[in-house]
Amino acid sequence: MKQKRKKSNKAESGEKKEPGTLPNPTNELELSQRVRLCASVGEEVVQLDELEKLLKNKRTRPIAYDGFEPSGRMHIAQGILKAINVNKLTKSGVDFVFWVADWFALLNNKMDGDLNKIQTVGKYLIEVWKAAGMDMTHVYFKWCSDEINEHANEYWLRVMDISKHFNITRTKRCCTILGRTESDDMPTAHLMYACMQCADIFFLKADICQLGMDQRKVNMLAREYATKQKLRSPIVISHHMLMGLKEGQEKMSKSDPDSAIFMEDEAHDVNKKIKQAFCPPKEIANNPCLDYVKHIVFGKLEQFVVKRKPEHGGDLIYTSYEQLEKDYAEGNLHPGDLKPSLAEAINSFLEPVRSHFKNDKYAKQLLDQVKKYRVTK
Ligand SMILES: N[C@@H](Cc1ccc(O)cc1)C(=O)O
């Protein structure tokens, strides 16, 4: 299959435009609303006052970014939750860059260390995001290999400079960003990875690092580096990590298919997965189903109806997660009633992605190929 890769392009239109260069048309929302909306994406925001100052400037749109190693299929944390967050950011006046981190996947030895496979997965990721319900006006996709090749001097000088500012112990502590644990025999590639990820932030001129909580260490390193080099510190808005389906799975992981709902899973897969998901009655903490209701369902909907048979008391209508949580804790809402409605809501969010992969020939071919690949941890 021959797939031409578009260069760092404006989402969908293909027209070459750089993020952050447009006048800011987002005047409908008050500054305080924009700050609140933007900050609501984060489980942690470092620092809120800096965010307010950033959004006050109306001349340019600030740039936020998140990076993704193409490896295996995409789960709902990277798909639906990301799309919800990106919509909030762009609505608050920020441009968003998806950094397709193909070289990072290579350094992390993903997809058998085969760059061709990695890049096919990268193209598949873009197809999923395009169908995931984002307003694309202020969304950009950039390929790490293309951009670094094009601006090699600038990029590698930055990586080298970062590596000079931190000792090995400090850099090693960042290796959780690769989903790895720190050890003495870890490959040097992991240290390189951390320096490169830190360099990305300055290279992409990102005002906001909007990655997951699992990436916060390197973003903090970048703030420290910025202070040392008297550069502007990036603001770090770290989002919640969506729990895995099974008991004790702190995060959804594509290398553990039992923990994840994938973006093109069929409706019956989703129903089955949710049916089998960990969901202890009356328990709120570490309950993945409630986690999905809070972050996915109420991230997208203003109202969530839990359907119940009349003999069980009839439908329950919730307009906030807090109401639902209270009912659940008090035992008024049972897992057996919650789960089918939760599965139905997730299915309705996934439907446009499924139909894109069914109806678009290019996307379908990519998915078929990605499904054949073995995912290496
Ligand atoms: N470390 C990220 C991927 C990434 C790579 C480069 C970046 O600049 C940002 C993110 C992950 O494991 O998912």
The CA 97 to ligand 1 mean position distance, Å, reads: 13
Specify whether 65 is located in the same domain as 140.
yes
346 lies in some domain:
yes
> According to the model, what pLDDT value does residue 18 have?
86
Domain boundary, last residue among 238, 273, 307 = 238
Structure tokens at 73: 């299929």
Q: Cis omega (within 30 of 0) on the bond before 47? A: yes
Structure tokens at 368: 């078929």
Specify whether 55 is located in the same domain as 102.
yes
Q: Does residue 75 or residue 16 have the better pLDDT?
A: 75
Ligand 1 atom nearest the C-alpha of 68 is: 3
**Above 90 in pLDDT, residue 25?**
no
Q: Total domain count for the chain?
A: 2
50: Cβ below 6 Å to ligand 1?
no
Q: Report how far apart, in Å, the C-alpha atoms of 179 and of each of 230, 271, 287 are.
A: 30, 29, 22
Specify whether 123 is located in the same domain as 199.
yes
Span between the terminal Cα atoms of the chain, in Å? 26
Specify whether 210 is located in the same domain as 262.
no
128/97 Cα distance (integer angstroms): 15
13 lies in some domain:
yes
> According to the model, what pLDDT value does residue 182 have?
87
pLDDT tens, position by position, 280-323: 999 999 999 999 999 999 999 999 999 999 988 899 999 999 99
Q: Report how far apart, in Å, the C-alpha atoms of 154 and of each of 161, 302, 372 are.
A: 11, 45, 37
pLDDT tens, position by position, 219-267: 999 999 999 999 999 999 999 999 999 999 999 988 777 789 999 899 9
**Above 80 in pLDDT, residue 23?**
no
The CA 67 to ligand 1 mean position distance, Å, reads: 4
Specify whether 64 is located in the same domain as 152.
yes
Predicted ipTM of the assembly: 0.99
> According to the model, what pLDDT value does residue 29 have?
87
Structure tokens at 261: 């709902």
What is the residue-wise DSSP string for 160-206?
Answer: HHHHHHS-HHHHHGGGGGGT----TT--HHHHHHHHHHHHHHHHTT-
State the average pLDDT over residues 29-44: 96
Cβ–Cβ under 8 Å, residues 190 and 178: yes
19: Cβ below 6 Å to ligand 1?
no
The CA 211 to ligand 1 mean position distance, Å, reads: 8
Specify whether 71 is located in the same domain as 190.
yes
**Above 70 in pLDDT, residue 98?**
yes
Q: Whose CA is nearest to atom 13 of ligand 1?
A: 68
What SS3 state is found at 305?
strand
Residue 270 buriedness (CB in 10 A; 0-12 / 13-18 / 19+): buried
Phi, psi of 237 (to 5 degrees): -110, 100
**Above 70 in pLDDT, residue 26?**
no
> According to the model, what pLDDT value does residue 8 have?
45
DSSP code, position 248 = T
Tell the residue number behind the tokens 């000079």, with chain if given: 164
Question: Which residue among 96, 145, 158, 215 has the greatest number of ligand 1 atoms within 8 angstroms of its CB, and so is best to mutate?
Answer: 215
The length of the chain in residues reads: 377
Domain boundary, last residue among 203, 238, 273 = 238
> According to the model, what pLDDT value does residue 13 have?
44
Give the confidence band of 51 by pLDDT, cuts at 50, 70, 90: very high
> According to the model, what pLDDT value does residue 10 have?
47
Question: Which residue among 66, 69, 141, 147 has the greatest number of ligand 1 atoms within 8 angstroms of its CB, and so is best to mutate?
Answer: 69
Q: Whose CA is nearest to atom 8 of ligand 1?
A: 197
Cβ–Cβ under 8 Å, residues 44 and 219: no
> According to the model, what pLDDT value does residue 5 have?
59
The CA 212 to ligand 1 mean position distance, Å, reads: 10
248 lies in some domain:
no
**Above 50 in pLDDT, residue 150?**
yes
80 lies in some domain:
yes
328 lies in some domain:
yes
The CA 1 to ligand 1 mean position distance, Å, reads: 27
State the average pLDDT over residues 154-176: 97
101: Cβ below 6 Å to ligand 1?
yes
Specify whether 97 is located in the same domain as 197.
yes
> According to the model, what pLDDT value does residue 58 have?
79
**Above 70 in pLDDT, residue 24?**
no
> According to the model, what pLDDT value does residue 377 have?
66
Q: What is the mean pLDDT of the chain?
A: 93
What is the residue-wise DSSP string for 130-159?
Answer: HHTT--GGGEEEEEHHHHHHHTHHHHHHHH
Domain boundary, last residue among 210, 238, 266 = 238
Residue 194's domain comprises 9-238
Question: Which residue among 99, 145, 175 has the greatest number of ligand 1 atoms within 8 angstroms of its CB, and so is best to mutate?
Answer: 99
Question: For 19-33, 80-94, 162-176, 182-196, which range has the lowest pLDDT when averaged over its residues?
Answer: 19-33
Structure tokens at 187: 């490959």
Give the confidence band of 14 by pLDDT, cuts at 50, 70, 90: very low
Which CATH number does the domain housing residue 262 bear?
1.10.240.10
**Above 80 in pLDDT, residue 115?**
yes
Specify whether 281 is located in the same domain as 220.
no
Specify whether 270 is located in the same domain as 190.
no
59/152 Cα distance (integer angstroms): 29
**Above 60 in pLDDT, residue 9?**
no
Specify whether 117 is located in the same domain as 233.
yes
Q: Whose CA is nearest to atom 9 of ligand 1?
A: 67
192 lies in some domain:
yes
Percentage helix, strand, coil, to 5, in the chain?
55, 10, 35
Cβ–Cβ under 8 Å, residues 300 and 80: yes
Q: Report how far apart, in Å, the C-alpha atoms of 321 and of each of 44, 165, 226, 274, 326 are.
A: 20, 45, 38, 18, 9
Structure tokens at 35: 């700050």
293/299 Cα distance (integer angstroms): 8
Give the confidence band of 358 by pLDDT, cuts at 50, 70, 90: very high
Specify whether 214 is located in the same domain as 348.
no
